[in-house]
Structure 1
Amino acid sequence: MKFAPLFSIGAIAALSLIGCSNQSDGDASAMSSQETTTLRFSHFWPATSSINKEVFEPWAKQIETDSNGRLKVELYPSATLSKADVTYEAAAKGTIDIGSQAHGYTSGRFPLTQIAELPGLSSSSTQTGCMLQTLYEDGTIASEYKDSHILFMYATGPGALHSTNKLIRTPEDMKGMRIRRPSAVAGDIIESMGASPVGLPANDMYTSLQRGVVDGLSFPWEAVTTFKIDELTKYHTNIPFYSSALMVTMNQGSYDKLPDDLKKVIDSNSGMALAKKVGEVFDKHDDIALQAAIDKGDQVIEVPDPLNDPDWKGPLEKGTQKYLSDVNTLGLDADGVYEKAKAASIACKV
């Protein structure tokens, strides 16, 4: 009987310890659920660019706000964390968590997606971005991204022609010129004009023009000011020569390990709304950059509908058919995707 109280005290103490242990585990679990996950986002655009300041920075802040601080996106502009042409692969392999890259920087990697870049399909960044997101969401091009988690597609505005020493009025004027080619699509078209396409990342364009490595380039107007190309070029042919497709993608493992509520934060800040947001920013700055060139006194000519222009129609169609034929030879249905892209173009027309 003398031991009963001692046992009771011991039992109470043990239960107390168990209770404390459970409470501690619960607190640890609660604390763990509030820990901050940092996602590293690499892209090639300069820190001062409109897309970084007006899209990526607000997007990162929105992710942090919507997650109550449990998600933080660290931005690495100017290709400081991954080179411009390997950013998609870096995200797919987990070297980075999120990346943005132009599809054309890895030739042949996204042949179906780049069909949306062909001339005549779009006249604005908003329209091309909508086309790309539509083709991804309906499964037309989704097979090209099985190794990654796409957050949203986007596009620059149409690439006009800009040169340092002469005005390009017709395709004949391009013969013998060295023109920077942003993608295989634009490369085929440049070649069909009799010019020599030169592959260069956007970050290398300024020094290449400065040193005479190239005579000109096909570049969206917004990018002309972003990469300071306006300091070196004074002749501009405002023609929708091609469009440039880009994406923001996330490492699948980085996405999968997030709890469901944080996945929803990522999901709600992805998709068509973001594609259109980027388009609005690019279209606005395209207009600003074009007006700046005019105000500066540069020579600018307009070719708004080249597929119905007698000088430009033939070479543009030749370049288009070459690209589609090359993709068909890979055993892919380039013609079918082209038809779907045209339908999406109409549906996305602003």
Structure 2
Amino acid sequence: MSKKFKIGAMSLFIAIALGVSGCSSQSDQSAGNDITTLRFSHFWPATSATHKDIFEPWARKVEEESDGRLKVEIYPSATLSSADSTYESAANGTIDIGSQVQGYSNGRFPLTQIAELPGLSNSATQMNCMLQTLYDDGVISSEYEDTHLLFMMGTGPGGIHTIDNPIRKPEDLKGLRMRRPSAIAGDIIESAGGTPVGLPVTDLYTSLQRGVLDGLSLPWDAVGAFKLNELVNTHTNMPFYSSAILVTMNKDKYESLPDDLKKVIDDNSGKEMAAVAGKVFDGEDDKFMAEAKAKGDIMIDIPDPLSDPAWKGPLEAGTKKYLKDVEDLGLDAQTVYQKAKEASTVCES
């Protein structure tokens, strides 16, 4: 065999080898392009039931039903977006999916937050059903038009939790610095004589430790999830508000999906997911309340504050103020309030 022939044969072999390698690489890349990764941001810790029992199972179900073509990467503890800007991050595409408490963006969801008012909800299950109903019926859907809403969530009733300061009547709040989770709860705390302080939930532990706060208003699931039960020892179980929570997706990202993958997302959205979340939140409320009782914390129960002579005034004043503030924005607060009452009744059963 001539040297020239050997060189030509070797060149041909190398060319074929490179061609095969190139085809293989191109095929792998093409297969990779079929996988859509969705970045999901929220502020709860990775140890919380919200992360482990709501979001992680949701992500697994989406991945399984898409045959692996959708991959969900979850970023807990506000590592990808701050707790108060997650909705806007989903709207502008910084993240693909996000979950946020509406009350953290003060004034952004005024109609939705009407559902947080006293007397409308006594459990997370009822709250979730009520919120999802109001959205599905078009009562509050206009507030989410810049994203693709997946499902609504809501907490159980928010009580008052302090360190060595039993709150039995509104006057007991006077002079106390209380963290407010939303404008509604803040109005009620202020009406009762307390000083509402706006802080993200991730700062509450250190704020209690340092004496920046005397107490806070949160549902039991959040008290446990953020380990605040290690510090607070007196609890007023009084349903004077509930917090609305959203789970939403970037609209362009959703629209970019093929129809069969949109269906996977749709099949894991809406009332069924709202019901799942409600059961998780209610279970956590029961668990952490039981733990506080077991360690000997002081428990004060005011199950119907709107009928309680001491609390009726501040709660009604807070409600009227919030509805007026919404009306001053040119929105029909009274109609939405009436619709929320109707949804509350339907969702109670």
When the two structures are superposed, what TM-score results if normalisation uses the length of structure 1?
0.91
Q: Secondary structure at the match of 2:257?
A: coil
**1:21 corresponds to which residue?**
none
Rounded to whole Å, the distance in 2 between the matches of 1:158 and 1:291 is 16
**2:166 corresponds to which residue?**
167
Rounded to whole Å, the distance in 1 between the matches of 2:347 and 2:300 is 27
**2:119 corresponds to which residue?**
120
Amino acid at match of 1:56: F
Q: Secondary structure at the match of 1:312?
A: helix
Rounded to whole Å, the distance in 2 between the matches of 1:255 and 1:210 is 43
**2:222 corresponds to which residue?**
223
- CA-CA distance at 1:244 after TM superposition: 0.4
- CA-CA distance at 1:301 after TM superposition: 1.0
**1:345 corresponds to which residue?**
344
**2:194 corresponds to which residue?**
195
Answering whether residue 211 of structure 2 is matched by residue 212 of structure 1, we say: yes
- CA-CA distance at 1:33 after TM superposition: 9.3
Show the 5 A alignment for 1:1-350: 35-350=34-349
Rounded to whole Å, the distance in 1 between the matches of 2:32 and 2:176 is 59
Rounded to whole Å, the distance in 2 between the matches of 1:33 and 1:255 is 19
Query: CA 1:33/1:75 → structure 2, altered by over 3 Å: closer, same or farther?
Result: closer
Amino acid at match of 1:199: G
Q: Identity, % of aligned pairs?
A: 65
CA contact (8 A) 1:161 1:241 kept: no
**1:13 corresponds to which residue?**
none
1:110-161 deviations in Å (ceiling 9; x for gaps) = 0000000001000000101111101111100011111111000001111110
Q: Secondary structure at the match of 1:311?
A: helix
1:92-118 deviations in Å (ceiling 9; x for gaps) = 000000000000001000000000000
Q: Secondary structure at the match of 2:53?
A: helix
Rounded to whole Å, the distance in 2 between the matches of 1:65 and 1:283 is 27
Structure 1 unaligned segments of length 5 or more: list them. 1-23
- CA-CA distance at 1:174 after TM superposition: 0.5
CA contact (8 A) 1:156 1:279 kept: yes
Rounded to whole Å, the distance in 2 between the matches of 1:178 and 1:136 is 34
CA contact (8 A) 1:180 1:218 kept: yes
Rounded to whole Å, the distance in 2 between the matches of 1:49 and 1:156 is 14
Rounded to whole Å, the distance in 1 between the matches of 2:154 and 2:72 is 22
When the two structures are superposed, what TM-score results if normalisation uses the length of structure 2?
0.91
- CA-CA distance at 1:34 after TM superposition: 7.3
| 4+ aligned runs moved over 6 Å, structure 1 | none
Amino acid at match of 1:343: E
1:196-250 deviations in Å (ceiling 9; x for gaps) = 1101111111011111111101111111111011111000001112100000000
Rounded to whole Å, the distance in 2 between the matches of 1:165 and 1:296 is 14
Rounded to whole Å, the distance in 2 between the matches of 1:97 and 1:119 is 33
CA contact (8 A) 1:110 1:144 kept: yes
Structure 2 unaligned segments of length 5 or more: list them. 1-22
1:232-284 deviations in Å (ceiling 9; x for gaps) = 10000011121000000000011000000000000000001111110000101
CA contact (8 A) 1:238 1:301 kept: yes
**1:10 corresponds to which residue?**
none
CA contact (8 A) 1:189 1:316 kept: yes
Rounded to whole Å, the distance in 2 between the matches of 1:222 and 1:245 is 14
Rounded to whole Å, the distance in 2 between the matches of 1:273 and 1:212 is 42
Rounded to whole Å, the distance in 1 between the matches of 2:34 and 2:258 is 12
1:28-55 deviations in Å (ceiling 9; x for gaps) = 7x95597210000000000000011001
- CA-CA distance at 1:165 after TM superposition: 2.4
Amino acid at match of 2:131: L
